[in-house]
A and B are shown apart, each in its own frame.
Chain A
Amino acid sequence: MITHDVVVIGGGLSGLRCAIELHERGVDVAIVSKVPLIRSHSGAAQGGINASIGSDDSWESHAFDTVKGSDYLADQDTVEILCKEAPDRVLEMEHWGTNFSRKDDGTIAQRPFGGAGFPRTCYAGDRTGHNILHTLHERILRAGIKVYREWLVTRLVIEDDRCLGFVAMDLLNSELEVFKTKATVLATGGYGRIYQKSTNAIINKGFGISLAYRAGVPLQDMEFVQFHPTTLWGTNILITEGARGEGGYLYNKDHERFMKDYASSSMELAPRDIVARSIQQEIDEGRAFPGGYVHLDITHLGKDLIEERLGGIRQICIDFAGIDPVEEPIPVQPGQHYSMGGISSNKDGATPASGLYAVGECACISVHGANRLGGNSLLDTVVFGRRAGVHAADYVTSLGETSDDPLTQALDSEKTAISEMMGNDGESYSSISEELKRTMQENVGVFREKKELEKAVEDVKKLEARARSLKVRTEAREFNLELLNAIELKGMLDLAHVIALGALVREESRGAHYRTDFLERDDKNWLKHTLAYLTPEGPRLEYKDVNITIFQPQRRTY
């Protein structure tokens, strides 16, 4: 049994920021991550991080944009915290070494982003996530924090609403171990890979979210899935919103700037949900290029500006599509990008189970509501990562001893479960996973409708049944990818079920959740958060009120 006061599961921005806070407060903290910290998905974030550090900007204006962008589903008390603490968190990163891009006067440069009334997105070229992730990683090395690198957490142990620790597998040798903690922080990121087309890293399967769900913690607002409007046709690698922020145009096959028909005043810089639907509609109505894409044209920005501010995406286009955006438009289509929903947690990242925290993309705090604004997620990771650290540091000092029995039992039953998965007489994970991705892509996408959503729920149920008897043939102990994928598949199915069901039941259109059979937002019946609890029959849905303080819901136009 491995013991620490606090273990942070996840080595992305939210996990690292949290661990640093705990360490600075003198807590015995360790990090567990299924990939080396710097390989975390956060490193792929391109465009930037929002903070109202500009002299005529204010946290109120940032908060208003965030709430309006969220289609009024965000909780306004947590949005207030997010926007008020933003400048401190961004400046702290600068002090710790992040190489932010600069204005002529040497201060941090800021670019306009969709849905924002002010250019408030601070950036490091178009490699912002990479830069911040490495800065935090450097702080972790400096602090000498213990890291369990390449360990997969497979089960949380929660007894009487209190988290006692978890079981994890060392990928180096497939051995299971149990961790005893006073507090555990989930910082496990998103689930993009339950869709066929996603901007997310291949490792983003949402397994951490399902760990909490399986342990009885509710998932919130899972039906709100963000589709990024501009992903590179073919691989769906992200082409940052910064490309439009810097002045890029969208054209259909008739060379029309079609955004004029959908958001005539904001045009290409309307929020993501709106731009994604507009592109999808162009595709569905035959005005896109064969194969289903439109053009994102930045050629008029000129080589120098593209090199200086969008050098990363230029390289991506050259390497992955054989296209140089200095000379040619970029072929783009919408793809799954971000999860607004997640493990239900509060302004300190605390979940309903004591001693269990959730921060970053795996959590729903809810600052993004029904649609996240670009640049607000990196911000969310560091603001609430830190806050969870502060809270957990306090929490663990007040705790007494607990019994080890539930932990050793969990370890034994996990060992049995995994050994039962080994063998030759069952289906492999890969066909189930492929079918899951297909049904999510086809039926729970940008546009949704009752029949399709019903089909998705039915499909997922069938796949769940098949997954119960899947088998892992590979016996090799070192980095057994087949075993890893098979374990994670069950979590992917959990999430797909919750997302599809939540979307089916929510009979309105709000933010990223767009029902072609219920076109309007319905504040009377649906201005509320969804909570999903696991039962043997599948998810049970409950609802709770939205926290509204300053901004009363208005019609959302851009």
Chain B
Amino acid sequence: MIKLKIRRQDGENVWYDLFEVEDRPGMNLLEALFYVQEKLDGSLTFRYSCRGAVCGSCGMLINRVPRLACKTQVSDLRKEPTNEGNPEVLITNKKTETDNDEILIEPLPNLDVIRDLVVDMDPFYSLLESVRPWLEMKNDIPEKENIMDQETQVKLEQYTNCILCAICHGSCPVAERDRKYYGPAALAKAWRFDLDPRENEENRKERLEIVDSESGVWGCDTVYKCVAVCPKKVAPTLGINELRNRIDTNKKKEE
């Protein structure tokens, strides 16, 4: 048996429910939530889709660490403290010597709650859109594919791996205090397109101008929390640093 202590919310009402779940080897936290939803309380709500850590739906705060529920094993959570009462969003958790049979589950921070564990993702998606996250092809499109060396492909891959789960956003101290800050995911995306040799110069320039701002790369505290929590090893802060360098170099060139 494992106990899930879940933060519930319906309108203004906020409360915590404790559910007992029969766990089994290999069970992940998303399965535990389904157990509750199907067998104990049909009104519990949360987002999900792939159950395989690829779709980015199920980000939530688990024992005060933002993570994907489907990628988090219940057996691992047994060896962690719940950190209840700790106001901070943590990036990793300590290990306990003895089993802990309680898990604390709360919605992803820095986004408004719609109900229970479902948060309003609209601001996150809009911030993403602000950085023009798409490729404008160059004018001379080749008849076949663009030739790209493997090294560039691999560099890009670190950033194309982003699943837009908003876990980084939930851990980010700047996002917490400044709702206009584009945030780690959007800025990592901006770097992904800046890095892409197929990108059109004009669009690249426009995007750099957008992120050359306090809502953009200069807003970042460079505390690397997003890097620590990203389930896909995307490393947004590194992208932000690269963008800062790029902007600085461009300015020097212009001078």
Contact = CB atoms under 8 A, between A and B. Distances in A.
Given A482-B42, A482-B43, A95 B133 contact: no
Taking residues whose C-beta sits less than 8 angstroms from the other chain, chain B's interface range is 35 or more
A322 B73 CA distance: 10
Interface string A91-130: 1001111011110111110000000000000001101001
A106 B149 contact: yes
B49 A203 contact: yes
Contacts of B136: 142
A316 interface: yes
B210 to A, nearest CB: 14
Interface in A291-329: 312, 315-316, 319-322
A505 interface: no
A474 B133 contact: no
Interface in A32-57: 35-36, 38-41, 43-44, 53
B145 A99 contact: no
Given A108-B145, A134-B160, A430 B51 contact: no
Contacts of A106: 147-150
Contact of B147 (A35, A53, A107): A107
B164 A172 contact: no
Which of A99, A105, A234, A482 is most buried by chain B, counting CB atoms within 10 A of its CB?
A99
A475 B28 CA distance: 28
B206 interface: no
A101 B152 CA distance: 10
B44 interface: yes
Given A102-B148, A201-B49, A478-B45, A138 B134 contact: yes
Interface in B127-150: 129, 132-137, 141-142, 144-150
Contact of A319 (B38, B53, B163): B53
Contact of B153 (A35, A36, A39, A101): A101
Contacts of A312: 54
Interface in A129-185: 130-131, 134, 138-139, 141-142, 172
A354 interface: no
B115 A479 contact: yes
Interface in A62-112: 91, 94-97, 99-102, 104-108
A474 B42 contact: yes
B14 interface: no
B82 interface: no
B206 to A, nearest CB: 13
A235 interface: yes
A430 to B, nearest CB: 4
Contacts of B153: 99-102
A203 B142 CA distance: 39
A519 interface: no
A106 B137 CA distance: 18
Contacts of B39: 430
Contacts of A481: 37, 42, 44-46
A138 B45 contact: no
Q: DSSP class of B's interface residues: helix, strand, loop or mixed? A: loop
B50 A39 contact: yes
Contacts of B150: 101-102, 104, 106
B230 interface: no
Contacts of B73: 319, 322
A97 B54 contact: no
Given A43-B54, A100-B145, A481-B46, 14 more contacts: A35-B49, A39-B47, A43-B55, A44-B55, A95-B146, A95-B198, A97-B135, A99-B156, A124-B160, A203-B48, A235-B26, A320-B52, A321-B26, A476-B45
Interface in A230-271: 234-235, 237-238
A202 interface: yes
B157 interface: yes
A38 B56 contact: yes
B54 A44 contact: yes
Which of A97, A100, A238, A480 is most buried by chain B, counting CB atoms within 10 A of its CB?
A97
A455 interface: no
A116 to B, nearest CB: 20
- What are the nearest 9 A-B pairs in CB distance? A106-B147, A97-B135, A482-B42, A138-B134, A478-B115, A142-B134, A474-B43, A430-B38, A479-B45
A344 interface: no
B195 to A, nearest CB: 10
A38 B164 contact: yes
Contacts of B149: 102, 106
A473 interface: yes
A36 B37 CA distance: 21
A428 interface: yes
B164 A99 contact: no
A480 B52 contact: no
Contacts of B49: 35, 39-41, 201-203
Contacts of A125: 157
Contacts of A131: 160
A436 B199 CA distance: 50
B71 interface: yes
Contacts of A35: 47, 49, 55, 57
A130 B164 CA distance: 11
Which of B125, B161, B164 is most buried by chain A, counting CB atoms within 10 A of its CB?
B161
Given A95-B141, A482-B43, A130 B54 contact: yes
Nearest to B145: A94
A286 B160 CA distance: 44
A473 B147 contact: no
B68 to A, nearest CB: 9
A273 B160 CA distance: 33
A138 B135 contact: yes
B55 A105 contact: no
Contacts of B157: 99, 124-125
A105 B147 contact: yes
Interface in A187-240: 201-203, 234-235, 237-238
Which of B28, B43, B55, B160 is most buried by chain A, counting CB atoms within 10 A of its CB?
B55
7 contacts: A35-B47, A39-B55, A44-B55, A97-B196, A142-B136, A201-B49, A237-B52
Contact of B114 (A43, A101, A478): A478
A317 B49 CA distance: 19
A378 B46 CA distance: 29
B138 to A, nearest CB: 10
Nearest to A96: B135
Contacts of A479: 45, 47, 114-116, 118
A479 B48 CA distance: 12
B18 interface: no
A141 B73 CA distance: 35
A38 B54 contact: no
Interface in B173-214: 193, 196, 198
A234 B44 contact: no
Which of B39, B73, B118, B146 is most buried by chain A, counting CB atoms within 10 A of its CB?
B146
Contact of A201 (B55, B121, B137, B156): B55
B50 A43 contact: yes
